A and B are shown apart, each in its own frame.
Chain A
Amino acid sequence: DQQVKQNSPSLSVQEGRISILNCDYTNSMFDYFLWYKKYPAEGPTFLISISSIKDKNEDGRFTVFLNKSAKHLSLHIVPSQPGDSAVYFCAANTNAGKSTFGDGTTLTVKP
């Protein structure tokens, strides 16, 4: 049973437009959500997070939205840049001590 799902394996957008990456979860015990970015031959790096008591968190061009009732979160990148091309992982945490990751979405930003 996959508790964190990223249903779109890939996404392609034009430079300057908005990129929206989606993530769904099933476990109501998740109370903290994170997005990581991964370039080839590198480990994932933290991008932005949100606590379950919030519905939005913004950091520059990156905004994460959380809809608890729908068990859905999304990452918005505006404006998208070619350097944003990477694999994006959604992760969800509980106090039990581990992060559960989705399978990732490969974002390609075309110049």
Chain B
Amino acid sequence: DSGVTQTPKHLITATGQRVTLRCSPRSGDLSVYWYQQSLDQGLQFLIQYYNGEERAKGNILERFSAQQFPDLHSELNLSSLELGDSALYFCASSVDPSGGNTGELFFGEGSRLTVL
């Protein structure tokens, strides 16, 4: 158990819909990262938040948005869903006391999104 909790574990929805994925980081971790893993591909970085502020952005589509709340949990919002958005979405957290990124990430079990 990594200490990172993601909900829901599975989600099936239709094209054009909107979903929200939720992540609770490990206790004490200030940084939250979101990654997307499409079928048989690597982990694509989407976005990072540090202590409530956006810190780094990857190839995140404009239809996607995220935020980190004062209690440090994070939500990833995916809207106008397309078939190609079907993927595993992982949340990870790290201590990052300096806001840098030299340490390991602790991953949740992922949220599997299926868009029909």
Contacts and interface: CB of A to CB of B under 8 A. Distances in A.
A105 B20 CA distance: 30
Given A43-B4, A43-B90, A49 B56 contact: no
B42 A98 contact: no
B113 to A, nearest CB: 15
Contacts of B31: 97
Interface residues of B, number: 29
Contact of A99 (B4, B50, B99, B101): B101
A103 B38 CA distance: 10
Contacts of B2: 43, 45
Contacts, number: 69
A93 B101 contact: yes
B43 interface: yes
Nearest to B98: A95
A44 B94 CA distance: 13
Given A36-B105, A97-B48, A102-B42, 11 more contacts: A31-B102, A34-B104, A36-B104, A43-B107, A43-B110, A44-B105, A94-B101, A96-B101, A97-B100, A98-B33, A98-B101
